[in-house]
Amino acid sequence: MAKKTAQSTLQLGRPVEPPASPEAARLDRVPNPHPDTNYVARFTMPEFTSICPVTGQPDFAILVIDYVPNKWMVESKSLKLYLNSFRNVGSFHEECTIDIGKRLKSLLSPRWLRIGGYFYPRGGMPIDVFWQTGRLPKEVWVPDQGVPTYRGRG
């Protein structure tokens, strides 16, 4: 019988059923190939969708996740599956943004992590949510998240 390797337990490279909820989603981590170097990894999800827990209508956002890895990095396929699982559950903007940040912090123990949730208007008002943990190392360059303030038809 073949011995299981860390790589063989990942969702990467094989068909995976989409998770029914964020709680059911499995986030995978992989070793950081440069744990001696401070650098920023960024994930941008321009079509994040969640469900309003009051109306049941979809909410749309741009999510930007920046982090400085320590020993671990998040595996991107598992992150995509996790983020897409929010489409199936009712969650306020603040709840899903902070939950994502806390779950990544727990999984990765990064040196620094921030998440920006830039939600499109609900009831005529956009809601943007920002969360951060850790201290950004001095020598690390982090670009602006690049999402402009909402201006409507401007």
Q: Which residues are catalytic?
A: 52, 59
Tokens 């909820």 belong to which residue? 21
Determine the Cα–Cα distance for residues 46 and 54; give it in Å rounded to an integer.
24
**Strand pairing partners for 126?**
none
Chain CA centroid to CA 24, Å: 15
Hey, which bits of the chain come out as E strands? Answer: 29-31, 41-51, 58-68, 72-74, 112-119, 128-134
CA dihedral 138, 148, 49, 104 (to 10 degrees): 0
